[in-house]
Structure 1
Amino acid sequence: MEGNNDTVVTEFILLGLSHHPRAQAMLFGVFLVVYLVTLLGNGLMVVLIFVSPLLHNPMYFFLSNLSFLDIFYTTSSVPQMLVNCFSHQPTISFEGCIAQMYVGLFLGIAECFLLAVMAYDRLAAVCSPLHYTLIMSKRLCIQLATISWAAALLLTLIAVVLQPTRFCGHNVINHFSCELQAFLKIACSDTSLNDLLIMTNSIFVLIIPFCFILVTYGRISLAVMRIQSAKGRSKAFSTCGSHIVVVTVFYGSAMSMYLHPQGKISSDRGKMISLFYGAVTPMLNPLIYSLRNKDVKGAFWRLLGKKVSE
């Protein structure tokens, strides 16, 4: 962190919307609602899946992983955003910024892999319903989830090793939180290797899983069209449709952010895009997966009934 003519950076200033106080007040209300809905929705999903035997199947196992992930994903950045909304010059320590950035990166990568795994689960459920329990065994589910988390951790550790070390006194990050792209823009050391890593990781983390999901749902669509029962087709589409919505919002915003070379996307646009995959998608996940899901709604009312009876 310290060179011959460099100033030691001990904290960063997060601009966010600090120059727009009226917008800050409005943003505080939006962030607060988003965060509370995210905590309540995902927390409730984890509890329902844990206590309801009817939800002890592969789809809900992966959904519980996703909900658990989303709780920590938003918690890694949104509380900091809420505090900063009322600060004229919001700051974060160097260590806090680094921790926030890599925790968010780790959880974001893990979500990419988990969404792809969930698509495979839906493929097995729709295309091979008679062999579904054999294909998606408990052992395989645990292995797929473990691989997703482990691969995310490995890719994050590689990014940590290649982290820029010189900032030449530049400590103003034009973002709501410590986002990797915004962080790299203020480094004065050579970041060409970091840019190459981002593009390479984007292929393995975004493009390949997204193409896999597209192919998977193409096969699912063909299988659904062959179902004779209209009720069966409706059930298959409702089960998979929620996953498609989540995938579109999450991957669409993440790819528009990380498939651009550093500096090719404006800071203000980057801030808005990051809100979709960092705050909006974690809020939407439990809402989308539960609103049209009879099993989840049934588990919820049974849980209330138990509480009332007690």
Structure 2
Amino acid sequence: MSAAAAVEPLRAANLLTGRTLYELLLFSDLGGKARSSVGSWFDTAPIGESASELDILFVVAGGDPLSVDAERLSGFLRRLSVQGVALGGISGGAAILHKAGLLERRRFTIHWKHYDALRARAPDALMERRLFVIDRDRFTCAGGSAPLDMMHALIAAHHGASLAREVSDWFIHTSLRPAEDPQRLDATSKYGVHHPALIAMIALMEDHIADPMSLPQLATLSGIGERQLERLCKTQLDQSVMQFYRRLRLSKAVDLLRQTTLSVTEVALATGFSNNAHFARAYRQHYGTSPTQERRPTTKRRSTTSDHDRAEPTCR
């Protein structure tokens, strides 16, 4: 989805103008047939070929981009940066750019699934929870359908807003989202809550997974008293404020255990638990298993998806 949403608007710009505004090239590690996550294939050139002709290169990464050992790719990206080629990261692609040292002093975004794991490893990174971020010669977006929105901005900057709107209409993408739009469903859609204080409370909790807020802080920042917040939470969410908060943090811990190679200690810290014992106890109480046992099946699954999203669409 991420690769298609990035490539198709550029193809459509060529089609609608009858000119080759964008020449699309696909790269993979060794070139040849690169298999996508859905099972289709891309014809790709090896990394490094035709590099001198590139204007922009986007790295598209799914699966667990934080565990990718891609020193050859990192070297290639660094060489392009020195040559003045603009670089982009789509979905988890920003993690690979960051690992290569190419997002220093640059604002960027990444798919929400990887946000907390990368934040745990790089607390000083200029990472934002946006659909897309364009910071000078760096283009990053959250993946999924977000590349449609970023490519609209890119086409508008290159060839005018009129063509960008034509491309969006072509794909029936009539509700263009600004860069600062959230990546996830709001609390009303996700949890069925409507009270503004509860909506504010959930937003605060989701933004403070690693550094949990206290009940008084949540109540004050939600504009409501502690007792009233507790009453609303029990009425609409069927649990206390702190019970709901802990469930959010444990749910994020499951994601990190399954989707990253962070140690259990790092997962505990990234989800606001002060030590392993506290984390393991809360995890077992809620899920009936330990964090270590949760991780065991993950390695096996990863071994069957090693070529997930191997192709990197690029344009020039």
More strand by share: 2
TM tier, smaller:
under 0.3
TM-score between the two structures when normalised by the length of structure 2? 0.25
Relative to the length of structure 1, the TM-score reads: 0.25
Higher helix share: 1
The structure, 1 or 2, with the larger RCO (C-alpha pairs under 8 Å, 6+ apart) is 1
